[in-house]
Structure 1
Amino acid sequence: MSEALQGQRLRRAALIAYPAALGEERLDFLLERSALQGAERASLQWLLSGALRETAILQALLAQLLRPGRQDEQISALLQLALYELRHGQRPEFAVVNDWVAATQLIGKVWAKGLVNAVLRRYLRERSRLDAIPPPQSHPQWLLQRLQVAYPEQWPQIIAANLQPAPLWLRVNRQRRSRDAYQALLTERGVASSSHPQLPDALMLEQSLPVQELPGWEEGWVAVQDGAAQLAAEILAPKAGERILDACAAPGGKTAHLLALGADDLLALDRSESRLQRTQAALQRQGFAPTLRLADAADPTTYADARPFDAILLDVPCSATGIIRRHPDILHRPSDLATLTQEQARLLRGVWPLLRPGGRLLYCTCSVLPEENGEQIAAFLDEQADARLQVHPLSGQRLPGQDGMDGFFYALLGKVAEAGEAA
């Protein structure tokens, strides 16, 4: 396929997906729906993610560049994407302008060629002045207010971290290769990476690349998984012979990590059949075949038997406010916190009876909001007499950008063996 045709495919896909993401559709679903693969998909993800991070800035620029009343939504989306590429892309400016002018044909708006050309060329002429204008608020008001209350000193750093692209973290499958051996292989291929002392299987790449270009990707040597997500399996620390429940398993990254660490009796659940199918495919690529079941974790009658679990991983649905830098479409989707916190409590209550006395449960979220994290756990401990919060050096709240990782929360709970005796 010619480079010109690839560019058209990319811009056509972006012009479909970007308005849909602004309309509250999930970016990962839109990328999958685009049917682009490899480098093309990586380019589409770069363009969409960047534009979604900077939507407020791009729209403010258009307010400066367009006369009032010119509000065609498709042309506005096209101009926002074009402006993002002019601001951050690496292609020659004339090529970017020409290609996005031609992209008006892809949406049946040939009448707008002159308008698009004029707006983009005016931006280039006045770039210094326009880029110096203070940027508008990027986060929705409901989230900004909660961050300011919860983190009165740290909220500016959280917002700044959310607006930076996330690095590419890998988890080396220790069942196939050691981290050091894989890092040496990357170095041989000119790919720079760094390790982390608390994550024995993790590598952070200095530059992202399509996963298909990673050595041993198809053979399951490595998986993409943020460092913060890798902490979950390290905290739960599965042991051979333990019966383990991964209660909300999709998309399977933590499941695979538990298996790689030696879990040999693991049941993984999810309520979504399509997500469970993707989980199965991801696990098979890495050489794992645990028991997967379509079930609601809060309803043990759909999956449990008389045998209790030694350990439970409960990675609950949440607002995902800790992974905005990786999923900037979250900025454009409302979050029903009341429903989410009710679901989190329901899941906690549902799986707790399945844990044996002396066992442990790891509750985790990719949220930074206290009502989903510390407050949720405090309420559970108040109502559950046999639950104890266990001290672990890796548990607690991690904020976005800390050590280059996403924002996550972990609480390790133990079930007392007998009344009045701590587990």
Structure 2
Amino acid sequence: MTDLLRLATAGSVDDGKSTLVGRLLYDTKSVLADQMEAVERATQGGGDPDLSLLVDGLRSEREQGITIDVAYRYFATPNRSFVLADTPGHVQYTRNTVTGASTAALAVLLVDARAGIVEQTRRHVAVMGLLRVPRLVLAVNKMDLVDHDENTYWRIAKEFFGLTEALGYADEDVVAIPLSAKKGDNVVLPSENTPWYEGPTLLEHLESVPVAGADHSAPLRFPVQYVVRPRTESHPDYRGYAGLIAAGTVRAGDEVTVLPDGQRTRVEGIDTFDGELDAAHDGQSVVLRLADDLGIARGAVIAAPGAPEPVTEFDATLAWLHEKPLKPGARLLLKHGTRTVQAIVGAVTHRLDTETLTLDEDPGELAINDMGQVSLTVSEPLPLDDYDVVAATGSFLLVDPQAGDTLGAGLVGRPLVTRPLDLPETDDQ
């Protein structure tokens, strides 16, 4: 069985992202014959098929030049299977990039070789760094429109490497590939037009990049979704706690702490629809039976001993996703795991300048697509972890209490930048 790579794409409008994804689907033979026939019919002026139509889906949104949702594409080669989160390019939909990148093990960021690194590129890199997407690929697209100029490629690549270094990426986790999605150069097959490039094609890199195996070593975090009390004749005293294991491994007999109250108990059994288990790990939905009859309700977290003390005041890094700015004093709802509490924004302490990757102090507010650092006070104690330790309990959403819209995505203990931006010289290689 081949392994699976989850990846996301991001880029500005007209960088050729839809064409690149279409090229990958077409060249890996992941397109049905009737889909290809529809693309050939819709291609204006005849000639080579417009592969971007495979992604845009022949929808009316294409007329606006933007795609307005996160579309998931599935394709496979003999070596690996792929799930690709195809996110919109328009600046208005940066929030969709956050969604697409949240589960990705690799991100492909496109730039137009004629335009180079632009503000939206910087914003996308910052999102990927903030969400700890492990690996990045810079796809310098439309190289055919700059005569496959090597100096143009290196100038863009070196600026990109400066951005990723400032965000804490190691050299081996970032690659740059010169390509032409429209012509197929260095997408699946090596191009004769870039003899100066000796690296892999995009597909070769996607097939060979290491995919981390399941890591169940994190401390147990089990947000309780539902209390199970069937009250049947065969199980008159049954009480279990259902949910999805967010992190770690749980075994029958383990000592656990129930948060936020801090009660200690032991796991008596692990039940599933298919029967009882000796152990279960993150990603599995189970019912835990505990040795003691405790007052546990939805929203509690069953955790390994040693979990951080629940808090009502904390600082966090926030990606603001709504048109209405976030200002101090805002009263919102905060969703953490299976629990929702009231929250007040105490201060907006910093905002990320995406041009320089420096922090503006005391900006006063966060506008749509801004990333910044805020202080929050919540109505009930929350069992928060640092995002780098346990992502599931180190992240949260801010929600509009009236409309129910998601307003922002927050991370605990995750710095926006690791050092000031120091772009390299670009007048030589």
TM-score of the pair, normalised by structure 2: 0.28
Larger % of helix: which?
Answer: 1
TM-score of the pair, normalised by structure 1: 0.28
Larger % of strand: which?
Answer: 2
